[in-house]
Amino acid sequence: MNIAQKARQTYQKYLASKLAIAFSFTIFVLASLALGILGSYLFLLLVPIVILPIFICLQMTNSAFAKGMSLSQKNFFSFYRAAFTPTLSGAYQVLSSFLKAALLYFGLSFVTVFIMLQFYLTRDPFFAQQIESISALAANGNLVEALAAYENNANIIFISSIATFISGGFALLAFLHFIGRNSIVPHLALSMSSMPGRIAFSIHRQGLKFFKREFNIDYYRATWLGTPLLLIGFAGGVLATYFLTRDPYLILLSGFAGAFIALTPFLPYYLDVMEEMFKKYKDRYIAISIDQAKKAYEEIKVAQKLSEEQQDELDKLISDLQKKADTKNQDQEEKSGEEE
């Protein structure tokens, strides 16, 4: 049975409970998007305070059903504080994921605007004259008039909107892709006592150097459906408000809302996939984690002065990793002896 089949089996077994917690997560995302209407800064502020912690609640609760945990609001929110502990801090790499998605957004926007401008300029002489007029106003210092002409030009508005929506949709896809792939890291961090999330991510990244190809085949074979669901949901959200407002930001928020709504039933299955992925690759992570933990330990000691308590925790981490590796090797030797 492959990873997708195992994940589907778990998903179907606890279907009602998994859909309930996924719906709860989406409600928080939609509420955050609604507050984001007041300002983009407010939505960005809510990501680390609300959306990420609730996603952690979703992931931990989704995993806990198989261990006998019952569905309740108390159990769901009991994992909220875990988001702010060293074990999960840095595990999802939210900031780096956001920066990479932002670079993709601006890059795609530039490319889309450039291509569409070239198309209009070569096909529409009148539009070319309008662009020249706007450029002349700006060159003569009439910036207010140039901005007004820019904002009132139907073709420019259309080009800007299309660029925003294309880049916004793929940037959201990229951001969720980065966060989703990193959702295997909490399993690694929680499997080792006292392992900080940033060290667990470092071990994960190091591990991919050895089994990236196999990892990617398993991952994309099991999760490919998420991409069309997200893009269809995003397009649906955009179309739902495109003819009601000319504000690209509001339409973009609506696209984000549509994407999360479309992904709601898929999220628990996705998290089940990541858990099955960890089960498959856990031993390989452990095999390289000792050297990586020691290396990270030395880097941290050089970069900042550790307290005695932090040093004790990292020493304990390395000791635990060594014990796990020794136990694994002993089990393999015993198994080989029995086969002989």
The pLDDT assigned to 235 comes to 93
Q: Among candidates 198, 207, 182, 180, which has minimal Cα distance to 282?
A: 207
The pLDDT assigned to 149 comes to 75
Burial (CB < 10 A; 0-12, 13-18, 19+), residue 164, is buried
CA–CA gap between residue 155 and residue 147 (Å, rounded): 14
Cβ within 8 Å of residue 147, ≥6 positions away: none
Supply angle C-alpha 202, 272, 49, rounded to 5: 60
Q: Which amino acid is at 128?
A: A
Q: Among candidates 191, 170, 201, which has minimal Cα distance to 323?
A: 191
Cβ proximity of 93 and 52 under 8 Å: no
Q: What is the mean pLDDT of each run of 10 residues along the chain (340 residues)?
A: 91 92 94 88 85 92 86 86 84 90 93 87 79 76 74 78 90 93 91 78 87 93 94 93 84 93 96 94 80 64 61 68 63 53
CA–CA gap between residue 261 and residue 150 (Å, rounded): 35
Cβ proximity of 71 and 77 under 8 Å: no
CA–CA gap between residue 166 and residue 42 (Å, rounded): 23
Cβ proximity of 185 and 205 under 8 Å: no
The pLDDT assigned to 4 comes to 93
The pLDDT assigned to 296 comes to 61
Cβ proximity of 3 and 13 under 8 Å: no
Cβ proximity of 88 and 82 under 8 Å: yes
CA-based torsion, 32, 105, 158, 151: positive or negative: positive
Q: So where are the chain's domains?
A: 93-180
The pLDDT assigned to 12 comes to 93
The pLDDT assigned to 27 comes to 95
Q: Which amino acid is at 104?
A: L
Burial (CB < 10 A; 0-12, 13-18, 19+), residue 313, is middle
- Token digits of residue 223: 């999760």
The pLDDT assigned to 321 comes to 64
CA–CA gap between residue 314 and residue 198 (Å, rounded): 13
The pLDDT assigned to 333 comes to 54
